[in-house]
Amino acid sequence: MNSSSARRMGSVRQALSWRGPVIVTLLAVREIMRPLLYWHVWHIFETDISHQIPQPYGKEEAEVKFYTADEGLEALCQQISAMGELEPTEVSRRFAKGWLIAVAFLKAQPVGYMWLVLSGGMELAFDTYWIIRSGEALRYGSFVLPAFRGKGIHSILNHAVACYLREHNFHVTLASVSVLNPQSMSLARHNKRAIAMTVFIARIRGVNWTIRKSFGAPLQSRFSWRTE
């Protein structure tokens, strides 16, 4: 079994463990429909970090470090890839686009990370792009090693990121959480974060039609797209 196949099998096992059979079934149906129709549903969060930042509830004493593309990152790229979610080329591509990463370490072992996008042009899906204004940052692609989930590592990362951004004159963080990834809602529920909007985006293959809908707020208040 090659590395890509091993990653896919690992993802399937993790999905069954963390998402449950109902969500996994919905994901399977979506994959079956992929040749004709593919869709996403996200909850969108906009968090004001200019005032109080919730304290982390992590059970571990993790150290969080921040890295940019200006630093020597070859070893870090290999470490992140070894965690099992991203290939080294994808890690390098994100750094090349100017993204920032926060990495949580336990006794020098990287156990989780969170990517940050500090400017516009980031695609949500299907030619639909985030509007990221001055003083705003997008939290993207948070990941924690399966063995360390349930220990509050994500909350430690989130707190460190909010403090870092506030120190650098950012006042709002943005984030999207897939409705099909309910365990990622635990931090928002713990901090009692309100959902700014829910977004549905689908693409019909062949005719290449894109359906965009939002609930809770106008879609164009946070996203842009080209009109055909």
Asked whether the predicted pLDDT for residue 49 surpasses 90, the reply is yes
What radius of gyration, in Å, describes the C-alpha atoms of the chain?
A: 18
What CA dihedral angle connects 72, 74, 75 and 81, to 10 degrees?
130
DSSP 119: S
State the average pLDDT over residues 123-138: 96
The torsion angles phi and psi of 184, rounded to 5 degrees, stand at -75, -5
Q: What confidence score (pLDDT) does residue 157 get?
A: 94
Give the Å distances, CA to CA, from 43 to 11, 46, 197, 200, 217: 22, 10, 6, 9, 11
DSSP 184: G
Q: What confidence score (pLDDT) does residue 2 get?
A: 55
Q: What confidence score (pLDDT) does residue 167 get?
A: 95
Q: What confidence score (pLDDT) does residue 13 get?
A: 62
Q: Report the 10 Å Cβ neighbour count for 135.
A: 11
Helix residue spans in 40-179 (DSSP H): 74-82, 88-96, 153-167
Using DSSP's 3-state secondary structure scheme, residue 14 falls into helix
Confidence bin at 55 (pLDDT 50/70/90): confident
Cα separation, 29 vs 31, in Å, equals: 5
Confidence bin at 206 (pLDDT 50/70/90): confident
Instruction: Enter the tokens of residue 75.
Output: 């070893």
Q: What confidence score (pLDDT) does residue 182 get?
A: 72
Q: Where are the domains of the chain?
A: 42-202+213-224
Q: What confidence score (pLDDT) does residue 170 get?
A: 96
**H or E element, residue 101:** strand 100-106
Mean pLDDT of the chain: 87
Cα separation, 90 vs 50, in Å, equals: 32
Q: Determine contact, residues 138/96, Cβ cutoff 8 Å.
A: no
Asked whether the predicted pLDDT for residue 15 surpasses 80, the reply is no
Confidence bin at 66 (pLDDT 50/70/90): very high
Confidence bin at 18 (pLDDT 50/70/90): low
% of the chain beyond a pLDDT of 90: 51
CATH number of 42-202+213-224: 3.40.630.30
Confidence bin at 19 (pLDDT 50/70/90): low
Q: What is the pTM for the complete model shown?
A: 0.84
Q: What confidence score (pLDDT) does residue 190 get?
A: 66
Contacts of 177 (CB under 8 A, 6+ apart): 42, 43, 45, 184, 185, 188
